[in-house]
Amino acid sequence: MHIHFLDPYHAGRSPIHQLDPRVKLVLAVAFILTASLLPFGAWPSYILLLALILSIELLTEMGIAYFLKRAFLALPFMLAALPLIFTVQGTPLATFTLGAWTFTISVEGVERVASIAFKSWVSVQMAIVLASTTSFPQLLAAMRALRIPKLLVAIFGLMWRYIFVLADEALRLLRARAARSGARRDAPYKTGGTLAWRARVTGGMAGSLLVRSFERGDRIYAAMAARGYDGETRTLPLPALQTWHWLVLGAGLIIYILIWLVGALIV
């Protein structure tokens, strides 16, 4: 059993899938930048961003539910922001005491936490749209076109190729460990060993993964060198952007600026 389903890319022919990866990458990052630039509590702009991302999700023809379900990934991180409901000064909303401590929840604090959650939520949806409608080779081509150093892109590409191989390897190591993590039938003993022993065994697994990766790296280099690799990665460039790509890019950026203006000037 392999874990190729890790790859979030869904092949498709929707307009979002067919958009040039360079344009898509720039628009996705600019969307997130717009969300981050908006001040706390700029709700009209937040609603516009949500409407925009929902429209884009509709256009992917993958079903909005897919995106909304995955978008809860960033939720645990909200814990870091939660204390703000007490620490931000402002109009008190509620007060309660816990032992010697008195906590005051402020309206401004609640608004700030809700703003952070909302910005994070729409941003992660855009990141999911990008990852699920753009294949990794397309992303690599976009990175190359956006002047990310070739060496780094080449390493990214090799890494992607072997992520699934090595994730399988890690999975098999975990299974082999689980298969021997047993208890005696007449068990009078405490199973599992000590914490330090468990950690050391896990370290051994990591070490074995690394050693095998070193050996694999040498073999890959030999195979690449055998085909004429000399340190330079040569690829075919992406075709030049067509007029409609520029139009989409321009329109997207203008929409972002308008949304930002609504938030920055009115609120």
Partner 1 sequence: MHHTIQVHNLVFKYPDGTRALDDVSFTIAPGEKVALVGPNGAGKSTLILHLNGILRGEGQVRVAGMEVGANANLPKIRAAVGLVFQDPDDQLFSPTVFDDVAFGPLYQGLPEKEVRARVAAALAAVHMQDYAARVSHHLSVGQKKRIAIATTLSMEPEILVLDEPTAGLDPRARRDVIKLLRELPQTMLIATHDLRMVAELLPRTLVMDQGRVVADRATPALLDDEAFLLAHGLEKP
Partner 2 sequence: MLSAPLAPPAMHIPDGFLSVFVAVTLWIVTIVIVAIALHRVSADLGERQVPMMGVLAAAIFAGQMLNFPVAGGTSGHLLGAALATILMGPWAAIIIMTCVLGIQGLIFQDGGLLAMGANIFNMGIVGVIVTHFVYRSVRALAGGKPWGIFVGGFLSAWLSVIIAALVTALELALSGTSPANIAVPAMGGIHILIGLGEGLITVGALAFLYFVRPDLLNVGEAKPAGASVWIAGLVVALAIALASPLASSFPDGLEWVAEQQGFLHIAQSAPYQIIPDYALPGIANKELATILAGIVGVLLVFGAAFGIAYARRKDRAPQAASRTLN
Ranges within 174-213 binding partner 2 (CB under 8 A): 174-175, 178, 192, 195-196, 198-211, 213
Residue number with CB closer to partner 2 (33 or 247): 33
Q: Is the Cβ–Cβ distance between 85 and 109 less than 8 Å? A: yes
Distances (CA, A) of 60 to 130, 132, 188, 218, 221: 10, 9, 58, 41, 39
The one of partner 2, partner 1, none whose footprint includes residue 94, by CB under 5 to 8 A per kind, is none
Select 44 or 192, whichever has its Cβ closest to partner 1. 192
Stretch that binds partner 2, among 94-102, 125-133, 235-243, 244-252 (CB under 8 A): 125-133
Nearest approach, Cβ of 196 to partner 2 (angstroms)?
Answer: 6
Which residues from 223-242 bind partner 1, rule CB under 8 A?
Answer: none
According to the binding rule CB under 8 A, does residue 137 interact with partner 2?
A: no
Contact between 65 and partner 1 per CB under 8 A: no
Q: What is the DSSP string of 78-115?
A: HHHHTTHHHHS-SSEEEEEEETTEEEEEEHHHHHHHHH
Of the candidate residues 33, 47, 78, 176, the single one contacting partner 1 (CB under 8 A): 176
CA distance 175 to 170: 9
Name the binder of 135 from partner 2, partner 1, none, CB < 5-8 A by kind.
Answer: none
Tokens of 32: 């997130």
- As a whole number of angstroms, the distance between CA 241 and CA 59 comes to 21
189, 135 contact by CB (below 8 A): no
